[in-house]
Structure 1
Amino acid sequence: MNTHVSILASCTLAFGIAGTVHAQEVDRSDWPSSFTVGTASQGGTYFAYGSGWANLVSDELGISGGAEVTGGPMQNMALVHTGDLAFGMTTLGPARESMEGTNPIAPGLQMTNACAMFPMYQTPFSVTALTSSGITSISEIPGGAKIGFGPAGSTSDTYFPRMMDTLGVNYERRNGGWSDLGGQLQDGLLDVIAFAAGIPVPAVSQLEVQTNVNIIQFTDEEQQKLMEAFPVSAFDIPGETYSTLEAPATSVAMWNFAIANCDLPESFVKEVVAVVMSDNERMVNIHRASRSTLPENADKNTVLMWHPGAAAWFRENTDIEISDDMVFGG
């Protein structure tokens, strides 16, 4: 079910010393010796973002850590819930479905042992086609169009087909990693790719370098329909995100959160959150989507229970109110 790609951080002696100093007053006796972050397919934002923060935490805390390619938010919820992975990343829509027992990976299993760690960014839903296709709007997508929806079980694959149904689009569904789908679009094997990923999406940026593309926005009416039918909010993709855009593009978006197995030591998770939340500039250097990886966005979590270590950090360092009934074991 997984493609295992380990991007383990190299922890030099210098980094080990730095990490020891960073948390020298913290009892590490129950900490794991290593950790892995569940991301998604290569070519997507989760992979770039997750690899970056895994390496950052590894360097700062002096613990071997890295990222693993997975099927995305749904699979990450399952793997973190079972403890197969320490950390992962998910979108709040798939997180809710997983907690309610409707995750397609394990139907009926209520995945309540995956806890919130910190806010990541919003995932906009956007559509890309080759300029040569002549497709410039949702209404111009031809009947029976071959649409790539990303990896099976991903946020995009979970919600975008339903969104296309809501907007009256008739299509043939295709799945795959974002890089592979980008190649298929360029080769004429797909008509459209429906992306749900943090921006800029690496696969779209790569396509822009190699060919001419149209980034298709929703009309105001289409945006309203989607907001009424799905757990999304209004979002404008900034014009500077892609060279193709000349102005902001109307979209909808869903929040992403980093997650931890709820049984991980409180002090360990608290230190991980501190590394990520304490210096946003470092995170932005990893991926521009991290501009939203800010402590004040912790209040966007209305779905997941907070890990006690994460809740402790936010309570001690921000004005965010986290009630006891939203803390695992609280």
Structure 2
Amino acid sequence: MKAQRFLMLIMVPALALAVTAAQAQPRPGWPRSVTIGSASIGGVYFVVAGGYARVIGEKMGLPATNRVTGGPVQNIQLVATKEIELGMTTMGPAFEAFNGIGEFRGRKLDVIRIAFPMYTSFAHWMVSADSPIRSVTDLTGRVVSLGPRGGSAEFVGHRVLELFNIKPRRIVYLGFADGATALRDGVVDANFGVIGIPVPAWVEASITRPTRFFGFTKEQIETLTGRYPYLARAAIRAGVYRGQDEVIHTVQMWNAAVVHKDMPDDFVYELVKTIFANRDFLATVHPASNETLPVNVFYTRLPLHPGAVKFYREQGVRLIDDQIPPEMKRS
């Protein structure tokens, strides 16, 4: 029933925002509009970005657009090249981009700045209920979807396959809605997601046909968290999806919204302030936004935008040295 209620919720038009005393007005130097880089249709980013767009439009008086992208990796690239104003990403790609390692070796993108924390993404797999696949070690010789190109599932998935020497017969990169359809049609054997829960397209899949979900073993979790500093152990509560009656043990990564360092300080300050002020509405768009709290900026641990620093300091949030951007340390 929880899954059914959530599916109904995301199909209903967004609820009206709470009335505020005054709207922020665009100021000199502010962008004339805000394009939000989200991800594929059927995923959590796409749903949450729709909420951000409405908040920015109604509360800041700026036209805002939810742009379908490949997800976290591509969004960092689009922010760095100033093709979008706000990018949704996870801390793995953000960490590697800022430091010019891993996925971003040889193309350091240290112009990105954290604006605000979003929520936790959980790594988990979806297969048909009658599938013989019970663990990641069973994926050798199978057809596996690692989510859309540029997404967190691709980012983490390739590291999982390499680390545990898993050799699928074929790897495909499908959005979450397309991946669920491909699983139903027998085109793929397993879908991987590193994403906020519940995944809308996977909720629907679990309602329309028997499915099964799994994560990682204790030993696999220890190996993953020991190798990658941006991963942490986690558990997905029972009942997130229909038929998922047990806790799923897995790993997690935090999501954050990023902007370019050249964005005006007062714009980013108002953006961050407005998002947090409307968290209750955003939680009606997707429950993952219940985690969008100022204190959770602790989990980002990369340089913040100066406008964001001002907001968190006003809120009494303790920041570590790594979160203070170089441009503030020089001043």
TM-score category, normalised to shorter length: 0.7 to 0.9
2:297 corresponds in structure 1 to 298
Name the CA distance, whole Å, in 2 between partners of 1:112 and 1:244: 43
Letter in 2 for 1:21: A
Residue 329 of structure 1 aligns to a residue in which SS? helix
Letter in 2 for 1:29: P
Letter in 2 for 1:174: V
2:239 corresponds in structure 1 to 240
Q: How far has the Cα of 1:100 moved from its partner?
A: 2.7
Q: How far has the Cα of 1:324 moved from its partner?
A: 8.4
Segments of structure 1 that go 5 or more residues without pairing to the other structure are 1-14
Question: Residues 56 and 63 of structure 2 are in contact (CA less than 8 Å); yes or no, is this contact kept in structure 1?
Answer: no
Q: How far has the Cα of 1:278 moved from its partner?
A: 2.3
2:317 corresponds in structure 1 to 319
| Gap change, CA 1:217 and 1:159, over 3 Å in 2 | closer
Name the CA distance, whole Å, in 1 between partners of 2:111 and 2:299: 20
Residue 183 of structure 1 aligns to a residue in which SS? helix
Question: Residues 76 and 89 of structure 1 are in contact (CA less than 8 Å); yes or no, is this contact kept in structure 2?
Answer: yes
Question: Residues 308 and 327 of structure 1 are in contact (CA less than 8 Å); yes or no, is this contact kept in structure 2?
Answer: yes
Residue 125 of structure 2 aligns to a residue in which SS? strand
Q: How far has the Cα of 1:19 moved from its partner?
A: 8.2
Residue 47 of structure 1 aligns to a residue in which SS? helix
Question: Residues 301 and 322 of structure 2 are in contact (CA less than 8 Å); yes or no, is this contact kept in structure 1?
Answer: no
Q: Deviations over 1:3-45 (max 9, x none)?
A: xxxxxxxxxxxx9xx7892336xx7122222110101111111
Identity %: 30
2:225 corresponds in structure 1 to 227
Name the CA distance, whole Å, in 2 between partners of 1:84 and 1:20: 33
Question: Residues 80 and 261 of structure 1 are in contact (CA less than 8 Å); yes or no, is this contact kept in structure 2?
Answer: yes
Task: Give the stretch that moved more between structures: 173-182 or 188-197.
Answer: 173-182
The answer as to 2:166 corresponding to 1:169 is: yes
Task: Give the stretch that moved more between structures: 48-57 or 67-76.
Answer: 48-57
Q: Deviations over 1:144-165 (max 9, x none)?
A: 1101001122111122122133
Match for 1:202 among 194, 200, 203? 200
Compute the TM-score of the two structures, normalised by the length of structure 1: 0.88
Letter in 1 for 2:111: N
The answer as to 2:21 corresponding to 1:23 is: no
Name the CA distance, whole Å, in 2 between partners of 1:251 and 1:47: 23
Question: Residues 262 and 328 of structure 1 are in contact (CA less than 8 Å); yes or no, is this contact kept in structure 2?
Answer: no
Q: How far has the Cα of 1:289 moved from its partner?
A: 1.0
Residue 190 of structure 1 aligns to a residue in which SS? coil
Coordinate RMSD, CA, aligned: 2.2
Segments of structure 2 that go 5 or more residues without pairing to the other structure are 1-16
Compute the TM-score of the two structures, normalised by the length of structure 2: 0.87
Q: How far has the Cα of 1:101 moved from its partner?
A: 2.8
Q: How far has the Cα of 1:103 moved from its partner?
A: 7.0
2:149 corresponds in structure 1 to 152
1:11 corresponds in structure 2 to none
Q: Which runs of 4+ in 1 moved over 6 A?
A: none
Q: How far has the Cα of 1:190 moved from its partner?
A: 0.5
Name the CA distance, whole Å, in 2 between partners of 1:38 and 1:321: 26
Q: How far has the Cα of 1:177 moved from its partner?
A: 1.4
Equivalent runs, 1:6-85 vs 2, <5 Å: 21-23=22-24, 28-85=27-84
Residue 130 of structure 2 aligns to a residue in which SS? helix
Q: How many residues align?
A: 310
Task: Give the stretch that moved more between structures: 316-325 or 201-210.
Answer: 316-325
Residue 240 of structure 1 aligns to a residue in which SS? coil
Name the CA distance, whole Å, in 1 between partners of 2:100 and 2:204: 37
